[in-house]
Amino acid sequence: MYHFFVPDADGPVISIRGGDVNHIRNVLRMKAGDRIVVSNGSDRDFYCVIREIRRDEVIAEVCPEEVEESELPANLILYQGLPKGTKMELIVQKAVELGAVRIVPVAMRRSVTRLDEKKQKTKIPRWNSIAESAARQSGRRIIPEVTRAMSWQEAVQEASRLDRILVPYENARGMSGTLQALRELKTGQDIGIFIGPEGGFEPSEIQVLKDAGAAVISLGNRILRTETAGMTALSLCMARLECEAEEGAASADDIGMKRVFASNRDGGKKALTPTGDGEKNASASADDSDTQRVFASNGDGGKKAMESTGDSDTKRNFAAAEEGSAEKDSAATEREQTS
């Protein structure tokens, strides 16, 4: 999907003007209904649908879906020793593609090229134009800046305020130190990378960087060209920072899931506890009521049964006693008559 930069762009409708209009209409031959990505050059990207293509303006409507983040979670600043010829154009292009947010040309002791004010007026705009094209091609959210050329002292002074400084050096040995330096890179940091010109660094320059807190690292046992060294260092940093961000996101997801499970588990307990107690209390109350009713019923029935049984037995005993007494009286009368 084609990518365009519109400063201060905001929804719901974005107007694209300038050279991009000709590029959209005559080079890409896009039409109404085609989708593009528009960045405001600082912090926002938009998916858009072209609604109208005019002679000097393209009208695009912002779509609701979010554009995936393309920026690194840390700021990489490339301090590039001025190289010969047009090598800086390739360095700028690849540095932007690999995530650098600023490219600073630096006049070092072994730099052959020297940029006076007159040359900078033509070179710097050219390099920034290349940076914009590379940002568009690689889907960057921002357009990295190529600054004016700095002296060695200015560059070191500025870099000393950064969180980390890495210096690939051909005389450094051992990749273990490189790996350790990469492990110390964290999200949110400002990280400077110094690359020497074709002739490399002077030993005194390396010492100055060490005094400023730089980590001098190796990029392997081969000697790399200045344009290759910057790409390699940026690639290593990019890989490390992307992994750091993914690990952080995975860790956050794990913590979030644990919180959800814990919340559900606690909520389940709270929901079950009152119900359980209520069921127990209701059951106990029902059992008590039923038992009382049974006991009351049995008690009343028992009393009535016992009273009834008692009355019947008493009546039978009295009747038997009366019959026995009558029999005795009759027998005594008969004896008296006989005698």
CATH of the domain at 231: 3.40.1280.10
pLDDT band at 139, cuts 50/70/90? confident
Quote the pLDDT of residue 101.
96
Range of weakest confidence among 57-61, 73-77, 207-211? 57-61
3-state DSSP helix/strand/coil % of the chain, to nearest 5: 55, 20, 30
The residue ranking higher by pLDDT, 321 or 126, is: 126
Domain shared by 157 and 233, yes or no: yes
Range of weakest confidence among 144-153, 304-313, 323-332? 304-313
Residue 54 has pLDDT above 70, yes or no: yes
Regarding pTM above 0.75, the answer is no
Domain count, the chain: 2
Domain shared by 126 and 159, yes or no: yes
Range of weakest confidence among 98-102, 184-188, 191-195, 331-335? 331-335
Domain shared by 81 and 229, yes or no: yes
Domain boundary (214, 249, 284) is at: 249
Domain boundary (16, 35, 62) is at: 62
Domain shared by 245 and 112, yes or no: yes
Which of 238, 232, 143 is CA-nearest to residue 187? 238
Range of weakest confidence among 11-20, 37-46, 47-56, 143-152? 37-46
Residue 289 has pLDDT above 90, yes or no: no
DSSP for 132-200 reads HHHHHHHT-SB--EE---EEHHHHHHHHTTSSEEEEE-TT---HHHHHHHHHT--TT-EEEEEE--TT-
> Contact at 8 Å (CB) between 39 and 140?
yes
278 within a domain of the structure (yes/no): no
Residue 302 has pLDDT above 70, yes or no: no
**CB-side exposure of 202: number of CA atoms within 13 Å?**
9
Domain boundary (201, 216, 249) is at: 249
Quote the pLDDT of residue 304.
45
pLDDT band at 197, cuts 50/70/90? very high
Quote the pLDDT of residue 247.
79
Residue 303 has pLDDT above 70, yes or no: no
Domain shared by 10 and 148, yes or no: no
Q: Which domain holds residue 18?
A: 3-62
DSSP-derived 3-state class of residue 7: coil
289 within a domain of the structure (yes/no): no
The residue ranking higher by pLDDT, 330 or 196, is: 196
329 within a domain of the structure (yes/no): no
Task: Tell me the pairing of strands 215-217 and 190-195.
Answer: unpaired
294 within a domain of the structure (yes/no): no
Domain shared by 112 and 244, yes or no: yes
Task: Tell me the pairing of strands 58-62 and 45-53.
Answer: antiparallel
In order of 44, 131, 218, 269, 301, the CA distances from 173 in angstroms are: 42, 33, 6, 60, 105
> How far is residue 158's CA from residue 152's CA, in Å, rounded to a whole number?
10
Domain shared by 21 and 85, yes or no: no
CATH of the domain at 24: 2.40.240.20
Quote the pLDDT of residue 245.
81
Report the percentage of the chain scoring pLDDT > 70.
Answer: 73
Q: Exposure of 145 by Cβ count < 10 A (0-12 exposed, 13-18 middle, 19+ buried)?
A: middle
Quote the pLDDT of residue 287.
53
311 within a domain of the structure (yes/no): no
Average pLDDT of the segment spanning 46-51: 88
